[in-house]
Every structure is written in C-alpha cells, then in structure tokens.
C-alpha cells in the first residue's frame, strides 16, 4: 500500500473520509502526517487503593458488575464496579449507554482518568480491554487534534492499522549525508516514533527530524524562488545621477539617510538585467512614497513607465495627487486608474496609480519598467496571486513592494522569501515621537472631554481620529456599533466640536467628501473604522483614540498610531481597551511605552505567535506542526541544506514532495 485514499483503510468510509477532510487528511500519508499534539504517560499502572489517594491515574481492574440506569433527569448513567487485589471502586459514565456492550462483567480493563470530587466515583475514565498489545492505554498515549465525528481514540486505532505499512507510505528522500551531518533519524522511523512512542526520548528524536523537514521545505521554497528569479530578464534601467540629484533639490524637505540608502539600493537593482524584487519596509510616516516616486522618475528618464498599485481608492487618489504635483513640470504622464477602464496611451513615459482594478482587463503600458505595490498585505489572496502573475513571464518589470507592517528579522525571509529588503528605520527628524497613554475604561469620559477641551483651546487647529477597530468578518456589526458610539459621543462629550463618521460601508463619494473636509479642517474629530488604517495622510491630526484596542495585534495598533504625528507638533494616542485582563494590560502597556514598530511587533511575536500578530491568511505565514516559525537558527541551517541540495541533486521535486509537512 502506497500513498492512497484514506478510504482504503478498514472502517473509513465516505462518511469518515468527509470528516477527515476537515483535518486536511485525504490520503494514508496525510493521516500519518497528522501527528499528536500532546502525549500522556499512562504506562504507570497504580492500584485502586492508590487511585483513591491520588485521585487520578490508570488502574488495571476486573469488572464485577455493569449496567445502565435512568436518572430522574431522564439521562442515562452507566454504573460499574471494578476490583483489583487492593480493593474495589465504582465507575460512572454519562450518556454512553453503549458501554455495556463493550465492557462486560468478568473482563479485565485498563481505566484511566480522574475521581469525581462530588460523588467519589471514578468518573468517565478512558478504558481499554487488556490485550497483548495495548493501543490506547498502559503506555505513552498520543492525543490528536480532533474534529466533528473524529476522536483521538478513533484516530489512534486507524493509525495503528497503518503502523506496519509506514515504510511503504512514507519514503525518505533526504540524502544520507544530510541525515548524518545533522544527526537526524530516517523519516519512516520518525513517523513511527511520533505515533507509537515508547519513551520521551523517542518523541524528541522524532520531533527533531520532523521540525527539520518542515523548515527545509520552506528553505527550499525560498532558494528555488531565488534561482528562478535569476532565470528571468528585466530591462536594465540606468541610474541618471545628475537628474536625480537636481530633482531632490526641488523637494520641500531633505531626504533622510535611510530614504537615501533605500533609493540607492533600488536604483542599483534596476540598473541590472535581472528583475529587482525588493521590499521597502518602514514605519507609517517614514516617507516611502517619495522613495517610490524617485524610482519612477528615474525609470521615466530612460523612457520606462511605472505602475503603482495600492489597496484602496482613497489611497490611490492621495498618491495620485501627491505624484501629479511632484511631477507637474516633468515629462511624465500621471494617470489615476480606479476602474477597469483602459489606460490612455501616451507618448510620454507613464506613471499609473491605481487599485487592483489595474490587475483585471487592463493592459499595462508596454514599456512598464517598474511595478510598485503599496501596503501589499492589504490585498486579498486572489489579488496577490494576480500580482505575482505579473512576475511569471520571462521578461518582467522590476518589482518593489512597500509595507509599514513591522516585520522582525526572524520572519522576513519566511514571508518575503526571495525579496531583498530595504529598511527605513528613522523617521524625518522634525517628528516628535507620539506619546501614547493606556486609558482605563472607567476614565473614558474624562479622556474624551479633555480631548474636546484641547481642540477648543487650540482654536480647532488640532484634529483627532477616533478609531473603532474593525475586524473583517464582522464588518456589518462593527459598522453599526461604531455608528451608535459615534452618535452617543458626538452628542455628549464631543458636543462642542465638529465630528464626522467614516466607515467602510459608505460610498466612495461620501468617503472622499469627508476626508476632504477633514483635510481642510472643517472637521475636528473624525470617527472611523479601520479604513483609515492605510496610508491616509493628514499632517494636522495630532490626537488619536483607539477603542477596543485589545482586539488588535500591536503591529496593527502601531499602524493606527502612525496616522498621527505626521507634522511637527506633538501627537497623543489614547488606547482604551474594552475588556481588560492582566495580559491585555501588559501588552497595551508595552505598546504605550514603546514607539518602534519593530519592537512592538517583536513583543507580540514572542508573546502571542505570528498568527496573532499578522494573521496567517493575510501574510501567508505557513502553519507548522512541530517547528516554530520563529526558529531563526533552524531556518539558517536548513537554508544551507537547501542550497546544497539544489547544487548537488536533480530530483528536487521528489525530495521536496516527500518531506514531512
Ligand atoms: P509612508 O511611509 O507612511 O508611506 P509617506 O510617504 O506618506 O509615508 O510620508 C509621510 C509624510 O512625510 C508625507 O507628508 C511626506 O511628504 C513627508 N515626508 C517624506 N519624507 C520626508 C522627509 N525626509 N522629511 C520631511 N517630511 C517627509
Ligand atoms: Mg504609504
């Protein structure tokens, strides 16, 4: 039997196989790769007398009697009396009347569980008939993730059926020298040990091998993508140093050192006939737009067009305005494309700013030399694959991705794989770091009232954002909640200042009108759901309140916070949790005391794991069963191995397909 459908296993019919699909199990190998998430050592059998003292454990006992009883609440209880040489004990099970069919008087069973403190009975113990070879109890018992219709116990029995077929189903293709060098056991053995561990040393050895496979799989993906990149061609766009320097002089500000470095790195990459794939990672407000703008300008000087793609219409318009102004007296045709309309052709090099509408039905200009994607993580999965399709041709444009999501070093290569990275760590120097305060929910009113007072005192020169976090799945509910809160606050605590509400369910026209009014300072406080999270540039906004802050990862909160303090005035951020606990307070306290996006992201990464920080779906962080995605050392090790394998062997697909994952 090789890797076949699970239905080839006895007792797995269409019904069970449907259930198993919920666990991503389709084949016999998938089932073997469904490994335990914990173990329980039931190998120490104790006497009934000891059980009564210890209150929990495993006993080996003979059944003296067993029967079902109806309670007054019309529930079925199964009652049994069992005995060993030390004594006797009552067992009760609830709602499992079938047990009287499996457990018969006179038979000997292992029972494992806890004593009930109320009745002093052995309550709902796991059971297994004494046999030559124990499957479930009387040894180290594995526990599996379950799903409706599928129990751990059932999984154990089906995996046991596969036990002697493991060498046929699982094939280790890792080269022998790699196993030896890294002191790894063969994969067949690892899979057997992980399910049928005799001791904890077995488990450790098995996990070491499986973790290695998981990470090696990621490493192979990274290294293969890097190789592939080198097989593609891109236009070599030379660096027009003089014109760039002249252009910089016309800017209303001096570029920061990090911006300069990033520009150098980008122009260097583009001056090469292989495609650039670069991530520009810098905090909100660190000035990424101008970096992309200069890259686009440089491309235009050699006659190449640039396409800038952003996740929202609001942002597209904002970028369009900025760039249009920036290049007003340059030989560049700047266009906004937020619908599926065709791009108007032009004799000049073009700069097309648009949303994902650009990805569909729209022909990008023939001479496109650079594609920039801003806030890439905000694009949906499908759109992202469309974006990467742009890279699938042999001849491709250079590619720049920009994100403000702070990503610690431990994760960059996993998420961005074959990309090179430019960092903007320092913001323009006239910015004062935003002061953040954690506000006790009881002090909400005081907080709002003092904000209103401050705005009035400054003669409505300062402006505030009030953020109601919005989680995608519950957009409707949240929009409603935001509306209600808005109504309440604007009529009471904020009654003397001008307020407005902005949420995702509004039409583009409405949204734009409101943003325009906010920008023109006709509004003092803008209440918003997380539509403002991305990109909106309102330099005068100096105050932000974040409601229900605990619902978001710190990296995301940091993005909200980045909306303020973009001018030279001191900015203030008030973080108000809706629910609190010590843990929540600790996280938000850390956030309020730390201003670096990289630091707060690292904090969440260490304390809550990558899924919590970034969302698995959003970033495409792989979910690992054994290894930690943040295990940077193992990643480095396996990347060396991946390079070695790619250099030495030709059956790479075969090797990769057979890895544990
Ligand atoms: P982000 O990195 O979040 O995309 P932006 O590019 O929108 O940031 O820049 C934020 C603001 O900072 C803009 O108003 C921009 O004009 C301004 N800015 C960019 N670079 C500098 C600089 N070196 N000095 C001062 N202001 C700058
Ligand atoms: Mg931006």
Task: Report the pLDDT averaged over residues 491-510.
Answer: 87
CATH of range 241-424; options 3.40.50.300, 1.10.287.130, 3.30.70.1230, 3.40.50.920: 3.40.50.300
Two domains, one topology: 241-424 and 435-594:
yes
The whole-number pLDDT of residue 473 equals 45
The rounded Å distance from CA 19 to ligand 2 centre is: 45
d(CA 7, CA 310): 47
Q: Both tokens of residue 443?
A: 């002090």
Please name the residue whose Cα sits nearest to atom 18 of ligand 1. 287
Least confident of 233-237, 276-280, 535-539: 535-539
Q: Ligand 1: distance of its center to the CA of 288 in Å?
A: 7
- Give yes or no for residue 537 CB within 6 A of ligand 1: yes
CB of 284 shorter than 6 A to ligand 1: yes
**389-393, 417-421, 554-558: lowest mean pLDDT where?**
389-393
pTM tops 0.75: no
**Closest listed ligand to the CA of 286:** 1
- Contact (CB, 8 A) for 524 and 460: yes
* 418 within ligand 1 shell (Cβ under 6 A): no
pLDDT in tens, 595-653: 888 888 888 877 776 666 555 445 566 778 898 887 888 999 999 999 999 999 999 99
Pocket test for ligand 1, best of 257, 287, 430 (most atoms within 8 A of CB): 287
Residues 560-577 have a mean pLDDT of: 87
Q: Sign of dihedral through CA atoms 354, 360, 365, 369?
A: positive
Whole-angstrom distance, CA of residue 374 vs CA of residue 356: 11
CB of 87 sitting under 6 A from ligand 1: no
Q: 243 CA distance to ligand 2 centroid (A)?
A: 24
> Ligand 1 in contact with 425 (CB < 6 A)?
no
Backbone φ, ψ for residue 37 (5° rounding): -95, -15
Closest protein CA for atom 4 of ligand 1: 288
Please give the C-alpha separations between residue 289 and each of 282, 316, 344, in angstroms, as whole numbers.
Answer: 11, 12, 24
Q: Which residue would you say has higher pLDDT here, 469 or 306?
A: 306
Indicate which residue's Cα is closest to atom 16 of ligand 1: 287
Q: Does any ligand 1 atom lie closer than 6 A to the CB of residue 287?
A: yes
By alpha-carbon position, which residue is closest to atom 10 of ligand 1?
Answer: 285
Among 289, 314, 372, which is best to mutate for testing ligand 1, by the most ligand atoms less than 8 A from CB? 289
Cβ 343 vs Cβ 365: under 8 Å: yes
* CATH H-level, domain 57-129: superfamily: Nucleic acid-binding proteins (2.40.50.140)
Q: Is the CB of 404 under 6 A from ligand 1?
A: yes
536 lines ligand 1 (CB under 6 A): no
Pocket test for ligand 1, best of 255, 259, 281, 285 (most atoms within 8 A of CB): 285
Residue 483 has pLDDT above 70, yes or no: yes
71 or 473: which leads in pLDDT = 71
Distance in angstroms (rounded) separating the CA atoms of residues 373 and 277: 11
CA distances from residue 538 to 280, 317, 318, 521, 619 in whole angstroms, order as listed: 22, 14, 11, 10, 27
Among all bound ligands, the one having the nearest atom to the CA of 426 is: 1
Query: Quick one: which ligand is closest to 315's CA?
Result: 2
Bridge-based pairing of strands 368-374 and 305-309 is parallel
Which tops the pLDDT comparison, 189 or 507? 189
Query: Measured in angstroms, how far is the CA atom of residue 285 from the centroid of ligand 1?
Result: 5
pLDDT digits (tens, 9 = 90+) for 85-138: 889 999 999 888 889 998 999 988 989 999 988 888 999 999 988 775 666 666
pLDDT at site 427: 79
Ligand 1 atom nearest residue 284's Cα? 3
Distance from residue 383's CA to the centre of ligand 1 (Å): 27
pLDDT at residue 474 tops 60: no
Q: Which helix (H) or strand (E) holds 288?
A: helix 288-301
Whole-number Å distance, alpha carbon 320 to ligand 2 midpoint, is 12
Phi and psi at 84, nearest 5°, equal -135, -170
Neighbouring residues of 398: CB distance < 8 A, sequence distance ≥ 6: 234, 235, 237, 269, 270, 275, 276, 369, 370, 371
- Domain 435-594 of CATH type 3.40.50.720: no
How much of the chain exceeds pLDDT 90, in percent?
55
Task: Quote the pLDDT of residue 512.
Answer: 82
Total residues belonging to the chain: 661
Domain positions in the chain: 1-43+139-169, 57-129, 171-231+631-661, 241-424, 435-594
């Amino acid at each position: 039997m090789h890797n076949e459908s699970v239905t080839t296993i006895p007792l797995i019919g269409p019904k069970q196989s449907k259930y198993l699909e919920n666990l991503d199990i389709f084949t016999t190998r998938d089932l073997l790769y469904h490994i335990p998430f914990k173990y329980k050592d039931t190998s120490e059998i104790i006497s009934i007398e000891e059980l009564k003292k210890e209150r929990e454990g495993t006993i080996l006992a003979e059944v003296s009697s067993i029967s079902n009883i109806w309670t007054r609440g019309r529930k079925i209880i199964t009652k049994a009396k069992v005995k060993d040489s030390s004594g006797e004990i009552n067992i009760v099970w609830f709602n499992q009347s079938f047990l009287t069919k499996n457990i018969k008087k006179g038979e000997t069973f292992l029972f494992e569980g806890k004593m009930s403190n109320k009745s002093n009975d052995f309550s709902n113990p796991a059971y297994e008939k004494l046999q030559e070879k124990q499957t479930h109890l009387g040894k180290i018992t594995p526990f599996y993730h379950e799903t409706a219709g599928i129990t751990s116990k059932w999984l154990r029995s089906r995996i046991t059926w596969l036990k002697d077929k493991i060498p046929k189903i699982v094939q280790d293709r890792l080269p022998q020298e790699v196993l030896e060098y890294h002191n790894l056991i063969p994969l067949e053995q690892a899979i057997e040990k992980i399910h049928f561990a005799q001791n904890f040393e077995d488990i450790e050895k098995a996990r070491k091998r499986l973790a290695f496979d998981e990470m090696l799989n990621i490493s192979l993906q990274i290294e293969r993508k890097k190789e592939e990149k080198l097989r593609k061609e891109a236009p070599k766009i030379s660096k027009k140093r003089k014109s760039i320097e002249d252009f910089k002089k016309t800017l209303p500000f001096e570029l920061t050192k990090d911006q300069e470095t990033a520009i150098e790195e980008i122009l260097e990459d583009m001056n090469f006939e292989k495609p650039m794939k670069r991530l520009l990672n810098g905090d909100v407000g660190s000035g990424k737009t101008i970096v992309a703008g200069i890259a686009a300008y440089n491309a235009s000087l050699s006659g190449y067009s640039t396409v800038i793609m952003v996740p929202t219409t609001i942002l597209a318009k904002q970028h369009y305005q900025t760039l249009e102004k920036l290049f007003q007296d340059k030989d560049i045709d700047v266009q906004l494309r937020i619908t599926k309309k065709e791009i108007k052709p032009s004799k000049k090099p073009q700069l097309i700013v648009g949303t994902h509408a650009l990805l569909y039905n729209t022909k990008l200009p023939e001479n496109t030399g650079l594609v920039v994607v801003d806030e890439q993580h905000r694009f949906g999965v499908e759109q992202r694959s469309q974006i990467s399709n742009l890279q699938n041709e042999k001849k491709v444009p250079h590619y720049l991705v920009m994100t403000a999501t702070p990503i610690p070093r431990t994760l960059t290569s996993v998420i961005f794989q074959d990309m090179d990275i430019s960092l903007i760590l320092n913001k323009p120097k006239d910015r004062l770091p935003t002061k953040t305060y954690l506000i006790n929910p009881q002090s909400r009113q005081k907080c709002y009232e003092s904000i209103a007072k401050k705005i009035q005192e400054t003669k409505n020169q300062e402006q505030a954002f009030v953020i109601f976090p919005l989680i995608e799945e519950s957009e409707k509910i949240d929009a409603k909640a935001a509306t209600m809160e808005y109504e309440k606050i604007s009529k009471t605590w904020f009654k003397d200042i001008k307020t407005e509400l902005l949420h995702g369910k509004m039409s583009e026209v409405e949204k734009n009108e409101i943003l325009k009014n906010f920008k023109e300072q006709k509004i003092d406080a803008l209440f918003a759901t997380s539509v403002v999270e991305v990109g909106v540039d309102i330099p005068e906004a100096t105050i932000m309140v974040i409601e229900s802050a605990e619902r978001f990862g710190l990296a995301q909160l940091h993005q909200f916070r980045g909306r303020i303090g973009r001018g030279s005035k001191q900015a203030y951020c008030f973080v108000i949790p809706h629910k609190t606990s010590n843990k929540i307070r600790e996280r938000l306290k850390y956030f309020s005391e730390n201003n670096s996006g990289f630091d707060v992201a690292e904090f969440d990464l260490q304390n809550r794991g990558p899924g919590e920080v970034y969302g698995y779906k959003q970033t495409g962080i792989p979910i690992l069963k054994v290894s930690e995605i943040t295990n940077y050392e193992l990643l480095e090790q396996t990347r060396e191995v991946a390079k070695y394998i790619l250099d030495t062997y030709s059956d790479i697909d075969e090797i990769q397909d057979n890895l544990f994952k």
